[in-house]
Structure 1
Amino acid sequence: MIRRWNPDGPAAPLGRYSHLASVPAGHELLVMSGQVGVMEDGTLAGTDAESQARQVFANIESLLRSAGAGPEHLVKLFTMLSGTEHLAGSRAAQGEVFARWFPEGDWPAHSLIVVAALAAPGLLIEVEAIAAVPRG
């Protein structure tokens, strides 16, 4: 079982994440490329960060399922936003999704940065993910 925790010493997390996550022996690491708010047909899920973030998390969940895994196997997320004005929308979508994925508040490690731009015009959020899936 993946262990996630916040030890004494550093300040409490500022958001929905754990300071540490460890993967026990017998797990295979699954590394996901950055997911953006694009639907299966290649169109943007919306022009706002909240819509795109919901799609990002739907894409991550779909990729996890394709590997025989689920959100409980997530170890680390890395979010990139194309401006601070997208923080509220991305956090709102994350809050909804995390309430479903991690009802006990056992969140994966997570980092977030604001960048000048993402790979294509209109993209507001991109999230990379690492999961650990039990072998066998």
Structure 2
Amino acid sequence: MPREIITTPDAPSSPLYSQAVRAGTHVVVSGMVGVDVATGAIVGDTVQQQTRQAFANCETVLKAAGAGLDDVVEVGVLLAKPEDFTGLNEEFAQWFPSAPPARYVAKLGVELPGILVSIRMTAVTA
């Protein structure tokens, strides 16, 4: 099955990975952090603020792939500080208020200055 690289200038990017890859009906979004692409700055110093921006970045990449949050079947979350779990859940519930996708949360294995959370998603489209 051929894969399609998804890119958009409206979300953070790196030459080291694709923002997303579509393979058939599956869209896999790379880990997005709470950076505002317009300013290049980390948004806020709380996990809620950064989670909100990371979700917005994921949603932007999903849209570029022709998908949306309703298509998300799995979310992976990496937290810099395990004690931010409650704050993450507060913001997560705003994005998926009912019938949430499968999810995992783990500790971020590398230290990225100022980064509190990284979120990745897998979506399935028709």
Same fold flag (TM > 0.5): yes
Q: Is 1:110 paired with 2:107? A: no
For residue 92 of structure 1, give the secondary structure of its aligned residue in structure 2.
Answer: helix
Q: Is the 8 A contact 2:29 2:62 kept in 1?
A: no
> How far apart, CA to CA, are the structure 1 residues paired with 2:70 and 2:108?
28
Q: Is 1:33 paired with 2:30? A: yes
> How far apart, CA to CA, are the structure 2 residues paired with 1:106 and 1:60?
18
User: TM-score normalised to the size of structure 2?
Assistant: 0.75
> How far apart, CA to CA, are the structure 1 residues paired with 2:44 and 2:99?
29
Shift of 1:116: 4.9
Q: Is the 8 A contact 2:33 2:115 kept in 1?
A: yes
| 1:121 equivalent among 98, 109, 113 | 113
The code of the aligned residue for 2:96 comes to F
Shift of 1:96: 1.4
Residue of structure 1 equivalent to 2:59: 61
Any runs of at least 4 consecutive aligned residues in structure 1 with deviations exceeding 6 A, and if so which? none
Shift of 1:51: 0.2
For residue 46 of structure 1, give the secondary structure of its aligned residue in structure 2.
Answer: coil
User: Which blocks of at least 5 consecutive residues in structure 1 are unaligned?
Assistant: 1-26, 100-104
For residue 121 of structure 1, give the secondary structure of its aligned residue in structure 2.
Answer: coil
Percent pairwise identity: 30
Q: Is the 8 A contact 1:83 1:116 kept in 2?
A: no
User: TM-score normalised to the size of structure 1?
Assistant: 0.69
Residue of structure 1 equivalent to 2:76: 78
Structure of greater relative contact order (alpha carbons < 8 Å, 6+ residues apart):
1
User: Which blocks of at least 5 consecutive residues in structure 2 are unaligned?
Assistant: 1-23
Q: Which has the larger radius of gyration?
A: 1
